[in-house]
């Protein structure tokens, strides 16, 4: 009587377990499908990301990168690239000599920032003597000066504190460069203007003008006295005394203060150059032209008058009122905070001539001299 119940119960249990097993298989199958879909989605996203990254890299490769000197008047990358090109050629020559057994010099460092000061001094001296254009033609002296100004700017942009034109340590380099530029005659175009690559802004950007150091300040005085007072030779600069340069003031021309008719008279300071008296007559020439250097109201850091006053403040007190040479030698032990930058010793002719010859290659100097000749 109870036998059918047992059979029914057994059947129900078997059906239950079969249903559970079926559900488990279905769940496992769904899990596998879900996992496969997830992996497929991940693969799709990864492929998309890789494709997007590749497209971005392709766009960046096609888009020209901004030059590091794009915002500079002085394009210093020309100097850096010329240096690298020269080093590659030099190392190729050294390797050839090494294979022949005629030379065993170590290769030159292509990264100029890695050179010590003594290595930089030595290799720069070789560079200005040997550098050539990519086509093998020699550079003109003004182009060589431009390249080295670019190297100086590149060094400063990357945290190097050396001034290859002004520091005493780099005298071998500046002497070699001086031999190249001292006898250079600037070419003249068909309109009668001198052609040169060097512009005054290049000197300001490369920190060759201003009050950055005693040597740079001296270079600035030589430059301004050449540009405004027409002092063209080392002898003329050496004859210059403190008594020949006088600060004065005058009223400037009438200027509109606004769009109406109100006008304003403005006092302007200037430096007046009084030429040395003739050694034979002990008199100054009454027909001697008077030269002036007006103050720069727009940029005091580039003002001839203010830089002259700063120079006087850094000179010994006992020389300012005497008829002593205008250019004094820097004290080698001074620092920027020193109250006195200069000794009572006149600046020797060679460093003075180095500054002068580089200044004579500047376009604005030649334009002032040409204008002065026209007015005479």
Residues 118-127, mean pLDDT to the nearest whole number: 96
Average pLDDT, whole number, for the chain?
83
Name the domain count of the chain: 2
**Residue 359 in contact with residue 229, Cβ under 8 Å?**
no
Q: How far is CA 196 from CA 50, 122, 143, 222, 358, in A?
A: 51, 27, 8, 19, 12
What pLDDT does 102 receive?
78
Per DSSP, the three-state class of 329 is: strand
Do residues 220 and 200 share a domain? no
- Residue 185 confidence (pLDDT) above 90: no
What are the backbone dihedrals phi and psi of residue 98, each rounded to the nearest 5 degrees, phi first?
-65, -40
The encoded tokens of residue 205 equal: 């950007």
Do residues 196 and 224 share a domain? no
Per DSSP, the three-state class of 77 is: helix
More confident residue, 92 or 56: 92
- Residue 197 confidence (pLDDT) above 80: yes
Do residues 278 and 357 share a domain? yes
Min mean pLDDT across 105-114, 124-133, 187-196 is at 187-196
End-to-end CA distance of the chain: 146
1 occurs within a structural domain: no
Do residues 225 and 369 share a domain? yes
The encoded tokens of residue 83 equal: 């240096």
> What share of the chain has pLDDT > 90, as a percent?
58
Residues 286-315, mean pLDDT to the nearest whole number: 92
245 occurs within a structural domain: yes
Whether pTM exceeds 0.85: no
Do residues 157 and 225 share a domain? no
Confidence of residue 139 (pLDDT cuts 50, 70, 90): very high
d(CA 355, CA 223): 8
Confidence of residue 105 (pLDDT cuts 50, 70, 90): confident
CB contact burial 116-129 (16+ within 10 A = b; e otherwise): eeeebbebbbebbe
Torsion 301-303-306-309 (CA) sign: positive
Q: How far is CA 169 from CA 65, 146, 165, 316, in A?
A: 37, 21, 10, 25
**Residue 192 in contact with residue 370, Cβ under 8 Å?**
yes
**Cβ neighbours around 292 below 10 Å, total:** 13
31 occurs within a structural domain: no
Do residues 226 and 288 share a domain? yes
On the CB side of 157, how many CA atoms lie within 13 Å of its CA? 18
142 occurs within a structural domain: yes
Which residue do the tokens 């090109």 mark? 85
10 occurs within a structural domain: no
240 occurs within a structural domain: yes
User: Of 144, 173, 208, at which residue does a domain stop?
Assistant: 208
What pLDDT does 190 receive?
77
Residues 49-63, mean pLDDT to the nearest whole number: 54
> What share of the chain has pLDDT > 70, as a percent?
75
Residues 148-167, mean pLDDT to the nearest whole number: 96
Rg over CA atoms, the chain: 37
For residue 346, give every residue at least 6 positions away whose Cβ sits within 8 Å of its Cβ, in sequence order, or none.
238, 324, 325, 327, 328, 329
φ/ψ region of 159 (left if φ > 0, alpha if ψ in -120 to 50, else beta) reads left
For residue 149, give every residue at least 6 positions away whose Cβ sits within 8 Å of its Cβ, in sequence order, or none.
74, 76, 79, 198, 202, 203, 206, 208
Angle (CA) 363-367-372 rounded to 5° is: 150
Do residues 243 and 332 share a domain? yes
User: Of 189, 208, 227, at which residue does a domain stop?
Assistant: 208
The per-residue pLDDT for range 7-31, each reduced to its tens digit, is: 444 444 444 444 555 555 665 556 5
**Residue 357 in contact with residue 365, Cβ under 8 Å?**
no
Do residues 220 and 248 share a domain? yes
Q: At what angle do helices 214-229 and 349-359 cross, to 10 degrees?
A: 60
Do residues 238 and 376 share a domain? yes
Do residues 99 and 223 share a domain? no
Q: How far is Cα of residue 173 from the mean position of the Cα atoms in its chain?
A: 18
140 occurs within a structural domain: yes
**Cβ neighbours around 99 below 10 Å, total:** 9
Please give the torsion angle defined by the CA atoms of residues 316, 319, 321 and 322, in that order, rounded to the nearest 10 degrees: 180
Alpha helices in the chain (DSSP H): 3-62, 77-100, 117-130, 141-157, 171-181, 200-205, 214-229, 234-239, 304-313, 349-359, 363-375
Do residues 173 and 301 share a domain? no
What are the residues facing 241 on neighbouring strands?
325
Structural domain for 121, as ranges:
66-208
What are the backbone dihedrals phi and psi of residue 325, each rounded to the nearest 5 degrees, phi first?
-55, 140
Do residues 193 and 277 share a domain? no
What are the residues facing 245 on neighbouring strands?
273
11 occurs within a structural domain: no
């Amino acid at each position: 009587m109870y036998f059918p119940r047992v059979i029914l119960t057994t059947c129900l249990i078997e059906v239950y377990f079969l249903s559970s097993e079926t559900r488990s298989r279905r769940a496992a199958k769904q899990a596998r499908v879900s996992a496969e879909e997830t992996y497929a989605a991940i693969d799709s996203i990864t492929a998309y990301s890789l494709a997007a990254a590749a497209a971005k890299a392709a766009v960046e490769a096609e888009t020209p990168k901004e030059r590091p000197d794009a915002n500079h008047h002085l394009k210093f990358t020309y100097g850096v690239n010329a240096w690298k090109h020269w080093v590659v050629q030099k190392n190729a020559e050294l390797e050839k000599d090494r294979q022949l057994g005629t030379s065993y010099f170590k290769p030159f460092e292509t990264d100029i920032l890695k050179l010590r000061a003594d290595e930089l001094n030595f290799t720069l001296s070789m560079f200005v003597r040997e550098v050539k254009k990519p086509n093998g033609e020699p550079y003109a002296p003004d182009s060589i000066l431009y390249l080295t100004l670019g190297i100086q700017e590149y060094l400063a942009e990357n945290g190097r504190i050396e001034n290859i034109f002004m520091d005493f340590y780099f005298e071998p380099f500046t002497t070699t460069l001086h031999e190249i530029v001292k006898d250079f005659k600037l070419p003249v175009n068909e309109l009668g203007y001198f052609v040169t690559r060097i512009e005054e802004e290049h000197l300001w950007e490369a920190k060759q003008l201003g009050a950055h150091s005693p040597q740079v300040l001296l270079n600035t005085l030589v430059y301004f006295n050449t540009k405004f007072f027409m002092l063209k030779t080392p002898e003329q600069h050496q004859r210059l005394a403190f008594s020949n340069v006088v600060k004065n003031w005058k009223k400037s021309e009438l200027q509109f203060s606004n769009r109406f008719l109100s006008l304003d008279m403005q006092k302007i300071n200037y430096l007046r150059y009084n030429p040395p008296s003739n050694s034979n007559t002990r008199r100054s020439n009454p027909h001697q032209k008077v030269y002036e250097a007006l103050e720069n109201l727009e940029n005091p850091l580039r003002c001839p008058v203010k830089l002259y006053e700063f120079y006087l403040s850094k000179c010994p007190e006992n020389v300012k009122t005497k008829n002593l040479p205008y250019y004094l030698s820097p004290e080698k032990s001074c620092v920027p905070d020193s109250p006195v930058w200069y000794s009572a010793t006149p600046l020797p002719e060679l460093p003075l001539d180095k500054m002068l010859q580089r200044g004579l290659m500047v376009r604005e100097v030649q334009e002032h001299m040409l204008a002065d000749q026209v007015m005479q």
